[in-house]
Each structure stands twice: as C-alpha cells, then as structure tokens.
Structure 1
Amino acid sequence: MAVEELVLRKLRPKDVVPFRCSQCGACCRNLRGQLMLESLDAYRLANYFRAHGCPDMEMVDVIDAYTDPSLLPGNYPIFLVRVQGPDDACVFLKEGACSVYAARPRACRLYPFTVDAGERGQDFSWYQCLERPFHFTGGTVLVKDWFYRNFSKEDRAFMLREWKILPPIGKLLRNLDDHQMDDAHREVILLQYSFFDQEMPFLPQYDRNAAELLRRLRRLNGGAGDGTT
C-alpha cells in the first residue's frame, strides 16, 4: 500500500490471521506520501466516475483531480493519492466512508495485507502489514480466501506485467542525462496514464503502451538497448 516502507510479516496461504474490518476509516487517514495510484486504479476510477455522473472522465482527469506527482528512486514518476484535512485523510474519504468504494485502489482492497513478487516458482508472496496493530483483533481471516476475494485475475495479470517492465524502464531512465529526463517523464505519464480508451479492456492497451514506452525511451537513449529483447 505505501510508498514509504511498511512493517511486514510474511504469510502462507493457509495462515489464519485475527482481523475484522470495523469500518473505522483509520486506514484512510495519515496517508501523506503513502498511497500510490497505479494505472489500473486510475482506469477503474475513471470508469466509476463515468458511471456516476461524469461521462467524459478520463484517466488523466483522475490524476489531475485526485493525485500529486512524486518520484521514486531512479527518477521514476508516480502519482500519490491527495490527502486533506488535519489528519491527512484520503481525498476520497467523505463523511467517514470511502466515496469510491467499488473502485477503490488495489492497495486499499488488500490492506491490511499486501503482496509482492513471489519466490521459488510462485508468482506472489503475501504479507501482513503490522504498522497499525489495532487492526488485528476480533474475527479471523484465512489468507488465501482474503486474496481470492480482493485480488482479481486482472490485478494479478497487471502486477506481473508491471514487475516485468519496471526494471528495463528503470535502467533506461538511469542512462538519461538531466536534460532528457523531462521528455522521459512525459512519455511515462502519457503511456501509463493517458493513452487509454475507457471503452476498451485495460490489459491489451497496457501491453501496447508498455512496448511503445520502451521504444520511446530507447530512442531517447540514442537507440541503446536495455538488456531485454
């Protein structure tokens, strides 16, 4: 969930964790610098707003209205969900509840659990987020059931694609001079958050844009490769 480092405990699919969501809204507060909006999140939010009174909403409109830009190490541009109020609450938190609950970001659906790249032939590893221990009282959650309900096939396919393309993008960005970086950031933003048709499925468009992004970044590198084929 967080761009800042989380306190994590690795889980197995068969683990049972004490947890019950009390809808207290605590995980929607104190979020400054923490919740990154992924491109699939922005796509889903744009379609949610289209279905709820904003028929012309695009991904870039979601980015402009609800996020602030930031950079990961290596000059990789990202967007963080905007916060509001003295408690740095999520911009989507209205009257103590998520106003976009059906289209809330993947990180929010998984929290207080999260996922990372798998090991020993597995696609994913599962983790429990421990920085807010008061979550883990009452009720029980079977880990594999939680992820089955909240981590869709589309989410899984998207994350596997992201993990594959981010290393070569990062390498190409690191090879650029400072005067080339603005152009590179523009290409990343256009091809990951703008050049999508909201009426068409997300993943085929993502694949097309990812290939084009690598091509454009290689061109900025003077045609140099990134070590991938």
Structure 2
Amino acid sequence: MKAWLRLSTLCAVLIIVGCNTANNQQKPEEEVNGEETQEDSSTEQMLEDDEAEQEGKSEGVENNEDFLAVEDEFTKEFLVDTDVEPGFHQMRGKLDGFEMVIPENGIISDLLHDIENDAIETLIYTFNNFSERKLHDVKLMYYKKYPEEVKQNYLNVFKTEVGFDGEYQYAEANVLEMYYGSFENEDKYGPYMRYFGYLFAEDRNQAISYTHTAMCQGGEECSLSLEEEAEVAEKLMYSIRLLEQ
C-alpha cells in the first residue's frame, strides 16, 4: 500500500512539473497555424501573428483547466452517469463493488489502477484547481471481503499509512460504518491537507479506504484551508456506496 502512495505522489509531481515546464518554455516567437514566425514579415503580418499567438495561449489555458473526465479514454470506462449534479459524475469501480461521485475534471490514471486476485481494487485519481494552484489526489482501496477479526488491524495500519497519530471520528451513513480524520502538515514540497476514512459495510464484510490529499502545485504559493479542503473531501467520501455482490 505504501508503494501505491509513493506512485501517487510521483504521478502528481510529474503532472505538476510537466505543466510548469510547459508554461516556462513559452517563446516570444512561436509557430502560428503550423508555420514559423518570420523575422522579415510585414508589420501587418506580425500583428496578425501576435493576435493568433495570444489566442493560442488562451485556448491552451482553457484546455488545461477544462480537461474533463469524459475526454479521457481510461476515465470514461468508470463513468456510469454524467448528469448527477453540476460539476460531478458518478463512477463505479471495475469490480462493481463501489460507486461514488467524481469531479468532472477528475482523471483516473491507468498506471495507478490495479486489481488483485479479483478481490482488491486500488484506484487513484487527481483533479486540479488551476485558479488557486491546487492539486487534489484521491486514493481508494476496495476490499470485496475482509475477515471481521482483522478489522481493527486494518484501522491501525491505515493510520500509520496516512501519517496520523490521533483518534478516529466515527459516523454512520449509507449503511456504512465510517472511521475518519484529517490534518494539515508540510513537507519539502510545501503545505498539504489530508482527509481520510475507512468505511465498512454494516451488513457484510466489504470495506473501502479513502485518502484525499490537497496540496499546492509545484511549490507554488497558495492558501490551504483545512476547513475548506475538508469540505470537498468529505463530500466525496460521503458519496461512496458499497454495492452488494
């Protein structure tokens, strides 16, 4: 499980670095409609090229901000309803064991999805808030069946995995027993907020763990509010349903 967390972080960093590198490498002279800008162009042509360049940059920003789940081939395989509520879709795991809402710009990586022995499904997706320079990373681990006697062990190991040494809060919703918590911290990449929960079906031995991390993109300055970020994370967690097999 720790290996998946490292992979998730690596993926997020690669996405961030890629975006930042692309932004930093914009040149004054760019290709316009597939042709290089010529130094000896007329003034009129230069003005037209400048306008085209600015339009291209604007379109690029919009494409980055609005890259949607329905535009990603792998993510589309998980979507079961794209008209749940404004800004959200309904997704289902490949083992047909759980459903939840996913932000419309949530992207599931095929490199960070795994099914083990047709019984355990690990899924990680990310979504961005470009205007506030934030990246959200969500990890789910679904268990089709777990031994009841190891339930407490699952909870203890999970706290170590997410880096939490406090006590769980408890709630019941959606026919689930929910053990959850949240905290703020900072590492070499900057501040981050982590909201997490372990959810157990009340009437059968199904379970799913949920870890939501919000962080600043690429070390950029941004403001992280535990209350605000936890509200987003809580909405997603409370949308989780475990499906009867």
Same structural fold, with TM-score higher than 0.5 when normalized by the shorter chain:
no
Between the two structures, name the one with larger relative contact order (CA 8 Å, sep ≥ 6): 1
Q: State TM-score, norm by structure 1.
A: 0.26
Q: State TM-score, norm by structure 2.
A: 0.25
Bigger share in strand: 2
Bigger share in helix: 1
Q: Which has the larger radius of gyration?
A: 2
